[in-house]
Amino acid sequence: MKAAVIYGTKDVKIEEVNEPSVSKNEVKVKVSWAGICGSDLHAYHYGLGIPIEPNELTGVQAPLTLGHEFAGTVVEIGEGVTDIVVGDRVAIEPLLYAEDDVYVRQGQYNLANRFAFMGIQSNGGFAEYAVMNESKVHKLPENVSLEEGALIEPTAVAFQAIRESQLKVGQKVVVFGVGPIGLLTIVCAKAAGAAEIIAVDISNDRLALAKEVGATYIINSMEENATEKILSLHKHGVDIAYEAAGAEITFTTALNVLKKRGQLMVIAAFGKPISLDVTQHLLMKEINITASFAYCNIFPEVINLIASGRMDVKKVITKKIALDHLVEDGLELLEKDKSHAKILIDIK
């Protein structure tokens, strides 16, 4: 079968590999659509996360098949599979973990001490077929397309952050960074009842998309002072800031525009340590800083919200490409062209 195989930094090849076989409790999926994530970009451009030795949890090392945002149709089931049948249309939850982990036993598997992702530390979905445990597949209703199915995973990241924040119906929020996760955070915040959503970014194309998916106001922080603009709209600050940019400047700006006892929810990973004025930003304002990593037990809720029409995730798709063109029209393009949000790979 055809697959996108990563060997190391800047080394991804579209090549023929052996089609995977199913074992007990496993499901084989014919992949239809897959999304390119920031983690895929980090893996390709910098080698981040890709195991050069066998991963302690999965036993897999490079070369391996990329891709952890994907959906498709079940074509084969292994012994012991009970809730999935051939023909089911499914989205894949790619987070892997040790079942005996203390946090897994507490139901918080996203906090497992040993975890991995399909498509980063094991073979993933940038391929014609993928195999995974039955527990990793979620059925899609008839009115949810397989393209939308490929967006369930990143939407779950955003939805988890909204769920774990203190957001209440009618509150005012700001989202810093409107790449795919930031855009989906806007979609989820709107569905959760935010009365006003301010989007901050440096790309006018992405800000226009933010407006389309539900932002009330958009601010290009390269063209105007984001702190002054937000405080001109709300003198005492906003209720919650979602940090989806992963930069010190946006982190600090978020703290500046929060009202007293407001909340900063960190969603993005930061490439380096940042400084924090504890007295000014935490003590005197009693700001609550928290974070949300990945997702836990929320795929069914996300699927239901999309099926009900409460969340329209299709608008974050800005380009569709063939698997053969993954490198030049996906991994390379996204690094230099920040106007794009989510690029989907057609693997049908």
Q: Are residues 250 and 326 in the same domain?
A: no
**122 lies in the same domain as 177:** no
Predicted local confidence at residue 344, as pLDDT: 98
Calculate mean pLDDT across residues 30-51: 96
- What's the pLDDT at 282? 87
6 has which bridge partners? 12, 64
Give the pLDDT band (50/70/90) at residue 89.
very high
> What is residue 271's predicted lDDT score, i.e. its pLDDT?
85
Residue 164 has pLDDT above 90, yes or no: yes
- CA 67 vs. chain centroid, Å, equals 12
pLDDT of residue 103: 97
Instruction: Give tens-digit pLDDT for 172-203.
Output: 999 999 999 999 999 999 999 999 999 999 99
- Record the tokens describing residue 262, joined without a space: 């407001």
- Is pLDDT above 90 for 324? yes
* Span 208-249, pLDDT tens digits: 999 999 999 999 999 999 999 999 999 999 999 999 999 999
Query: What residue has token string 């992963």?
Result: 246
Same domain, yes or no, for 160 and 277? yes
How large is the average pLDDT for residues 275-288? 92
Q: How far is CA 192 from the centre of its chain?
A: 18
In this structure, how many other beta carbons lie within 10 angstroms of the beta carbon of residue 10?
Answer: 13
Same domain, 127 and 7: yes
Residues above pLDDT 70, as percent of the chain: 100
Residue 228: the pLDDT is: 98
Written as one string, the DSSP assignment of 190-252 is HHTT-SEEEEEES-HHHHHHHHHHT-SEEEETTTS-HHHHHHHH-TT-EEEEEE-S--HHHHH
In a shared domain, residues 271 and 147: no
For 21, phi then psi, to 5°, come to: -110, 155
Torsion on CA atoms 329, 332, 338, 344, rounded to nearest 10: 40
- Residue 128 and residue 105 share a domain: yes
Per-residue pLDDT tens digits for 42-58: 999 999 999 999 999 99
Q: What is the mean pLDDT of the chain?
A: 97
Do 162 and 199 fall within a single domain?
yes
* Strand blocks (E) in the chain: 2-8, 11-16, 26-35, 64-65, 69-77, 89-92, 95-97, 115-117, 129-133, 137-139, 172-176, 196-201, 217-220, 238-243, 258-266, 288-291, 317-322, 342-346
pLDDT tens digits, one per residue of 244-272: 999 999 999 999 999 999 999 999 999 89
Query: Count of domains in the chain?
Result: 2
pLDDT of residue 121: 97
Please write the tens of the pLDDT for every residue from 148-163.
Answer: 999 999 999 999 999 9
Assess whether 9 and 146 both reside in one domain.
yes
Same domain, 286 and 321: no
Q: What is the pLDDT of residue 281?
A: 86
Do both 334 and 281 map to the same domain?
A: no
pLDDT of residue 124: 98
Q: Which residue range forms the structural domain that includes residue 246?
A: 156-291
CATH number at residue 230: 3.40.50.720
CA distance 307 to 62: 37
At 76 the pLDDT is 98
CATH of the domain at 139: 3.90.180.10
* Residue-wise pLDDT tens digits, 108-118: 999 999 999 99
What pLDDT is stored for residue 348 in this prediction? 81
Whole-number pLDDT of residue 303: 98
